[in-house]
Structure 1
Amino acid sequence: MWRLGASAKCAARGQLQSLRSGLRCCYATRATGPPSGSASAKNKRQSKKLNFVIPNYISVNKLSNLMACRSEQLVRDLTGLGFADVTQDYILSKEYVELILQEYNYKLPTGSAKAQVTAQTVYDELRTPVNPRQLQRRPPVVTIMGHVDHGKTTIIDHLRKSSVVSQEHGGITQHIGAFQVVTPVSKKKITFLDTPGHAAFLKMRQRGANITDIIVLVVSIEDSIMPQTVEAIRHAKNSGNETIIAVSKIDKISQPKERERALERVTADLIAHGIPLEQVGGDVQMVPISARTGENMDLLEESIVLLSDVMDIKAENSSKVAAEGWVLESQVNKSVGNVATVLLKKGCLQKGNILVCGNTFCKVRNILDSAGKGVSKAMPSDAVEVIGWKELPEAGDQVIQAKNEATAKKYNAKRMALLEVEAQAANVERLNQERGLSRGLNDGHAADEARENGDEDEDEEQQHLPAGPQKVNFIVKADVTGSVEAINESIGSLGNDEVVCNIVSSGVGPPTGNDLKMAQITNGKILCFNLGSLPSEVINNRSGVDVRQYNVIYKLIEDVTSVLTDSLPAIYETNFVAQGDIREIFEFSLKKKTIKIAGCRVDSGKISRNSSVQILRGDQLIFDGKLATLKQGRDDASEVTKGHECGITFENGFENYEAGDKIMVYEKVRVPRFL
C-alpha cells in the first residue's frame, strides 16, 4: 500500500500511468458495474465537457460534488487503487484530480498534461543551447582539499605570492576563497578554490568538489590519511572529478631514506582507500611538495596544466551566450550592499547584465576580481565579486543571465509562486497524515472507552506525557552564508534527550534590532561569527541579551556545548560529612511552652549551624531537614567539631526523637554532567 499525497508531485508522474491502468482494470472487472460516467463507459458515451476550474488541491468530497457523483463511490474507487486512509476529507493534488477526471470521461483543457515545472527547474528556460563551434579552452577550476593543518592554504599562498595564513584565525580557512593565478612556468591561468578544513564545513567542501574540474588532495607526509582526508576522498569519488595527490610538508623530513619510507606509507594508505595511483597502474598523479620551501611546486603546477590539457576543458565565452555560474559565497558589505562571489561557468559577464539566482535577481553594478579591483567583464572560470543584488543570494545557488529586468522579475515571481505551491503541497501531505493519525487515535480511544467506560483516564494520561527535551535558543549571525550554513549544521544537532539546541533564526551581517527583540522574546543568545568589532549598543544592549563573538568555529561549538551542558537538569548526590548521637533529651519551659533540646555528642566531622541532617532510628529515617539552633552550653555556636557536646533543635518544631537516635549530617553535591 503506497500513500499518495500532494507533496509527491514529482514522484507522481511515474505513478500516473500505473494509476490510469489500475482505474481501467478496476472498472472493467467490477461485478456490480461501473458508476455513472466511469471509465468503462467511455466507449459508450461522448466525453463530458469540464465546466469548472481544477484547483491545485481539493478534497474528495468537494471533487465528488463538482463531478456530480457519489462521494462514497469515489472513496471506494480510490481505496481499491491503493490510496491509503482515503476519506471524504482526504485532499488530492491537481495531477491526481486530472487523472481521475480523465477516467470519468471528462475532457481536460489543452496543456494540462505538459511537463511539470518546479522551483528548481524554472530558470532552465533562460539557458541557451550549447553551440559546439563557440566552445573555447578555459582555465581549469582546481579545488584544494584535505585535513586541517596539512598545508592547503600554504600551497595557495605560495602560488599567489601573498600571506593568507597570517590573516586567518585558528590557522584554518573559515570560508571558501577563490583566486585566479598565472602559473610562473607555463604562464597559464588556473582558478583555485581553497575550501575550509574543519569538519563543520562539510557542505561547503561538498559544494567545492561539485563545481570544480580538478581536485588537489593534500596529504601531510607526517600524518598521512586523517579523518577529513577520508571525507575529501569520498567527495572526490562522488563528484567524478579528476584528482591529483599533493604530499605536503616533505621539508619536515630531511633524510632521503626516511622521506622515502614516509612516502611509501602514504602511498600504501592511499591505495588502501581506493585511490588508483600511477605507481600501481592507475591514472592519479602523486606529487611530493613543500609549499614552504617551494620544492616541487613547479611539478604540481605542470601536473595540473597537463591534466587540464588532457581533459580538454572548454566553455562558450561569447557575450551572445547567457552567462551561467555558481554562488560561492555571499555577504552584506556595509559600503556597497549585497555582494556575491560568483564562479562563472559559461558566457561573458559584464556590467549591466541581469542575473537571476534563487529567490532574487541582480543588475550588475560592479565586478571585482580576487584582489578587489574593478574589472569590466568576467570570463568562464573567473571567480569575481558581483555587486547589485536585490536580496542576498544563497551560497551554492546557480546564477543564470536573463535578457532584461522584466524577464528576471517574471521568472523570479514564477519561482516564488512554485515555492509557495510546494510549501502548500507539504502542508497538504502533513494534513492528510495528521488526519489519518487522528482517525487511528480516535479508534483507539473509542476502544478504550468501551473497556473503561469513560475517557477521563485518557485525559489524565495525556497530562502526564513527557514534555520533551528543553530547548535552548540561539540566533546565529555570521559574515557569509557559507559560515551560517556550517554553524547551523554544527550546532543544530547538539543535545540529547533532555536538552537540545534550537536555532531560532540565522543570517548574514551584524545583529539587528529585530534580532535583539527575537532573542529577548525567546530568551536566546546571539552567536556572532567573524563579524569584527560590533557597536557598543549591540554588545551592551538595553534588553540584556547575551551577544557572543567568535573568530574560530571550534570555540563557538565548545561554547554552545557548554551552554547546553549547564542547561541540563541538575543531579545531586548525598555525601555524609559528620555523625553524632543523641545522648539525652532536655526540656525547658519558655512562656508557657515546653521546648525539647537534643543533647548530642559529635562522633565524626563537624556539625554547622546551617547543616542538613537526617535522624535515624535503627535503619528507619524519621527526620530529614535542617537545624533550628545549635548551642554549646548557653551560647549559640556556629559549628561543633568531633568529640564535643552540643544542644540541638530542629526546624519545623520537630521533637519526635529519642535518646540513642543517630544524627547524620550531609551535603548535596551537584554531579557534573556532559552531553
Structure 2
Amino acid sequence: MWRLAQSGRLQSGFLLGVRRYAKPSKKASTTISNSLKKLNFVIPNYISVNKLSNLLNCRSERLVKDLTGLGFANVTQNYILSRDYVELILQEYNYELPASRKQLNAQTVYDELKSPVNPKLLQKRPPVVTIMGHVDHGKTTIIDHLRKSSVVSQEHGGITQHIGAFQVVTPVSKKKITFLDTPGHAAFLKMRERGANITDIIVLVVSVEDSIMPQTIEAIKHAKNSGNETIIAITKIDKIKQPRERERALERVTADLIAHDIQLEQVGGDVQVVPLSARSGENMDLLEESIVLLSDVMDIRAEDSNKVAAEGWVLESQVKKSVGIVATVLLKKGCLQKGNILVCGNTYCRVRNLLDSAGRPVTKAMPADAVEVLGWKEIPEAGDQVIQAKNEAQAKKYNAKRIALLEVEEQAINVEKLNLERGLKRDEDDAQDENEDGEDIDSTKQELGPKKVNFIVKADVSGSAEAIKESIASLGNEEVVCNVVSSSVGPPAESDLKMAQITDSKILCFNLGSLPTEVINNRKGVDIRQYNVIYKLIEDVTQVLTDNLKPIYETKHVAQIDVREIFEFTLKKKVIKIAGCRVENGKIFRNSTVQILRNDQVIFDGKLATLKQGKDDTLEVTKGNECGITFEKGFEDYEAGDKIMVYERQRVPRYL
C-alpha cells in the first residue's frame, strides 16, 4: 500500500479495511508484469478478491499473496475491495485505466448548479447577526427590544429552543439587520454551530452578574472557528445601581474575556464591548451603531440579481397544518421568487409562496432575507444548503444523483463493517483452534454489547429533532445505551406507532401541543411522552435508561430468632418436626425469607411453611414472643441452638 497511499486518491472512509501500510516486497513486485495491459471489463463499485482474480485471469491465491505484499492485512478470497482500491491495484498490475472520473460525493453534488461570482452584480446587503451566549443571559430580550415584540413570553421555560430569524430596520440609522437568535442550552450545540457558520457578525452576550459560563465558552469557540467578526454585549447592567459597583463588575467581565483570548479594544484589539440593558433600553442604540459601523467596515456584498442561481441555508423546517411543509431559508445570494425551483438535501421545491418573519406574503427575497418557503415535496433538513435549479427536471436529476451517491456511501460503510466482521471472525476461529483445552471463547465476547433502549423522536421543527437526537444519543454506559430509532418532524403517525411497536420504542414528542386522545391511548400500547422543555426530556430519558440497568440487590437482616426446642407430633401416621423458637430481635412474618445458621454456616435458605403461636396460625410474631415454625421444601434438619435470620433483599439505587 506504500505506492497506493502516495497516490493521494485514498478516501478516509475506506481505511478501515487496511490495518497497515508497507512497501511492496520484491517477491510481490516480480509477479507484476511490466507491460501495459488493456482493461477489458467495467470496474464495479465493489468486488471480492475471488471475483477480481477471475476478471484478471489469475489464481486467487496469487492475488491474495500480492495484496498481502502490497500492505493489505487479513486478506482472504472473500475480502471486498472498493472501486478506489481496485483502480490502484490495477495500476500496480500495469493495466490501462479509463480516463479519471470526477470525484463527487453527496455533499458536493449540487455545486454544479451554482453560478460563478460576477463582480459586476455585487451589491451591499444587510449584515446577518447571530446572538449567542449562555442560557438566560438576555439574548432574546435584546431582539425583543429591537423588533418590539414579545418572543420571551412565547418560549417554554423562558428559554429559546429554536433558531429565530428576524429582519429589523434599526430606529437610528434606518438600515436593515438580519438577526439570528440561537438557543443557549447545551442540547442545541449543532444549532449554535450552524448559527455561527452562516452569519457575518456574532454578538456574544455576557451577563454582568454571571460573567463567563459554560455555553459562553462554547460560543467563543464557535466564533473563533467561524472567523466571523464579534461584538461583546454585556447585559443586565440595570441590575447594578451603584456606579462604582457597576464599574467593578464590568472590569471583572472584561478581565474574564481577555483571559479567554478575546482581543478587546481596551487591549489594542478590534472587538467592541457594549454594556447595555435590553429591559431599560440603556445603550441599545450604541449596540445598533456598533453593528452598522462594523458592517460598513466589512463592506458586505452579495449578488442580488435573478441572473444568478439563488443560494441559501435552511434554518428550520416543519409541517404546518394549514399550508403543509415549510422551511425557513436565509438567502445568501440571488433573488428568490415565487415559481423558482430549489433543491435541498434529498428533496426539491417549486416555491408556492414566500412569507416574511411576521407571516406576511412577499413577492421576492433578497440576500440576507429570512423567509418561509412553501411548496417542498418532503421536509428538508435544518442546516442543509438551498440552491436554485433551472427547472423541475434538473432538480429531479440532481436529487436522484445525490440519493445514488448516498447509497454508495452507505454501501462503503457496510462493506467496511463486513470486512471487519470477517476479520474478527477469522481471528476468533484461529483462537478457537489454538485453545488446547477445547474450551469456548469467553461468552462475554460473543454478547451483542450493552442493552439498547429504543426511542423515536418527534418534534415541531427539524432543528429541535436534531438537537434532541444529539443530546440523548450519547446517554448510557457500558451496560445500557440510548438508541434513537428515528427522528422526524410532526405528530406521531401510524407508521411511527408501528415502528415503535416493532422496535419496542418509546415515542418522545417535543413542542407538539396537545395530541389527540386516540394517539396518546393508542391500541398498540405504545408509550408516548410529551415535553415542552428539553431539560425535562433529557432527565426522563436518563431515568428510563437507569431503570433498565441490571438490578443489584443487597441483603439486609431484619430479625433474629433462636431455636430453643424441637417438637414432634404425628399427623396421619407422619411425624412432623416443629421448631420451638423465640424472637430475639425484630419481627418475623408468615412470608419471611430466612436463613438457618449453625456455627455461622448456612444450612437452609428459603421461606417459612407455617408460623404458629400456640395452636393457631399467625401472620407475624414480634420481639420477645415465642412461636412454632416449619419450613418449605420439607426441611427438618434443624436443631436446638440454631439461629434463624430473617432477611430482605433490597434493590440498590443505580445511576448512569
* TM-score tier (shorter): over 0.9
Q: Does 1:458 align with 2:440?
A: yes
The equivalent position to 1:598 in structure 2, one of 555, 563, 579, is: 579
Using the TM superposition, give the Cα deviation of residue 608 of structure 1 relative to its aligned residue in structure 2, in angstroms. Answer: 1.9
The offset of 1:654, in angstroms, is: 1.4
Write the letter of the residue equivalent to 1:240.
Answer: G
SS at match of 2:465: helix
2-side partners of 1:613 and 1:33: how far apart?
79
2:52 maps to 63
The verdict on how the C-alpha distance between 1:432 and 1:607 changes in structure 2, with shifts beyond 3 A counting, is closer
**Aligned match of 1:169:** 156
1:433 aligns with 2:420: yes
Partner of 1:513: 494
Aligned to 2:18: none
Q: What's the CA shift for 1:599?
A: 1.1
1:118 aligns with 2:119: no
Indicate yes or no: 2:519 matched with 1:532: no
Aligned to 1:446: 433
Aligned mate of 1:422, from 362, 386, 409: 409
Q: CA deviation at 1:598?
A: 1.1
- Which whole-Å CA distance do the structure 2 matches of 1:500 and 1:223 have between them? 35
Q: Is this contact kept in 2: 1:122–1:411, CA < 8 A?
A: yes
Cα pair 1:56 1:94 within 8 Å, conserved:
yes
How far, CA to CA, are the matches of 2:395 and 2:570 in structure 1?
A: 95
Within 5 Å, give how 1:210-289 maps onto structure 2.
210-289=197-276
- 1:68-79 to 2 correspondence within 5 Å? 68-79=57-68
Q: Distance in 1 between matches of 2:621 and 2:412?
A: 74
The answer (yes or no) to whether the contact 2:4–2:88 under 8 Å persists in 1 is: no
> Shift in Å at residue 606 of structure 1?
1.9
Shift of 1:406: 0.6
Go from structure 1 to structure 2 and tell me whether the alpha carbon gap of 1:662 and 1:113 turns closer, same or farther (over 3 Å shift): same
1:585 correspondence with 2:598: no
Amino acid across the alignment from 2:325 = N
- Given candidates 69, 78, 81, the residue that maps to 2:70 is 81
Alpha-carbon separation, structure 1, partners of 2:396 and 2:214: 45
The change in CA–CA distance for 1:612 and 1:30 in structure 2 (over 3 A counts) is: closer
Q: Counterpart in 1 of 2:358? A: 371
Pairwise mapping of residues 38-437 of structure 1 onto structure 2 (< 5 A)? 38=33, 40-42=34-36, 48-109=37-98, 112-437=99-424
CA distance in 1, matches of 2:237, 2:258: 20
SS at match of 1:41: coil
- On the 8 A contact 2:455/2:508 being kept in 1, the answer is yes
> In the alignment, which residue of structure 2 is the partner of 1:652?
633
The alignment yields a C-alpha RMSD, in angstroms, of 2.3
What CA distance in whole angstroms lies between the structure 2 residues aligned with 1:92 and 1:103? 15
Identical-residue share of aligned pairs (%): 79
For residues 107 and 507 of structure 1, the distance between their equivalents in structure 2, rounded to whole angstroms, comes to 48
1:406-445 residue CA offsets vs partner (Å, 9 max, x unmatched): 1111111111111111222222222222333333333222
With 64-73 and 397-406 compared, the bigger mean Cα shift is at: 64-73
Q: Secondary structure in 2 aligned to 1:395?
A: coil
* Alpha-carbon distance, 1:193 to partner: 0.4
Change (3 A) 1:636 1:313: same
> TM-score, length-normalised on structure 2?
0.94
Measured against aligned partners, the alpha-carbon deviations of 1:279-316 in whole angstroms (never above 9, x if no partner) come to 11111001000000000000000000000011110000
**Alignment partners' CA distance in 2, 1:604 and 1:85:** 67
Structure-2 separation of matches of 1:505 and 1:351? 33
Asked if the contact 2:28–2:69 (Cα under 8 Å) also holds between the matched residues in 1, the reply is: no
1:535: how far off?
0.8
C-alpha displacement of 1:68: 2.6
* Structure 2 residue 461 is the aligned partner of structure 1 residue 480: yes
Distance of aligned partners of 1:599 and 1:159 in 2 relative to their CA distance in 1, 3 Å threshold: same
- Corresponding position: 1:496 with 2:474: no
Asked whether 1:565 is paired with 2:552, we answer no
Name the aligned partner's letter for residue 458 of structure 1.
Answer: D
Look up the SS of the partner of 1:128 in the other structure: coil
Q: Secondary structure at the match of 1:458?
A: coil
- Secondary structure class of the residue paired with 2:158: coil
- Between the aligned partners of 1:540 and 1:465, the Cα distance in structure 2 is 39
Q: 1:480 corresponds to which letter in structure 2?
A: V
Alpha-carbon distance in 1 for matches of 2:620, 2:86: 84
Q: Deviation of residue 578 (structure 1)? A: 1.7
Contact in 2 for aligned 1:2/1:83 (Cα 8 Å): no
Q: 8 Å contact 2:13–2:412 — kept in the other structure?
A: no
Q: Deviations over 1:555-574 (max 9, x none)?
A: 01111111111222222222
Describe the shift of the 1:315–1:467 C-alpha distance in structure 2 as closer, same or farther (beyond 3 A). closer
Judge conservation of contact 1:331–1:339 (CA < 8 Å) in 2. Answer: yes
Is the 8 Å Cα contact of residues 491 and 509 (structure 2) preserved in structure 1? Answer: yes
Other-structure match for 1:670: 651
Q: Which amino acid aligns with 1:630?
A: L
Please tell me whether the aligned partners of residues 357 and 400 of structure 1 are also in contact (alpha carbons under 8 angstroms). Answer: yes
Matching of residues 622-641 of structure 1 within 5 Å: 622-641=603-622
* Cα distance change, pair 98–470 in 1 and its aligned pair in 2 (3 A): closer
Are residues 340 and 222 of structure 1, via their aligned partners in 2, closer, same or farther at CA, if it must alter by over 3 Å? same
Q: 1:336 corresponds to which letter in structure 2?
A: V
Assess if the C-alpha contact under 8 Å between 1:3 and 1:82 holds in 2. no
Q: Secondary structure at the match of 1:133?
A: helix
Q: What is the letter of the counterpart of residue 655 of structure 2? A: F
The verdict on how the C-alpha distance between 1:553 and 1:658 changes in structure 2, with shifts beyond 3 A counting, is: same
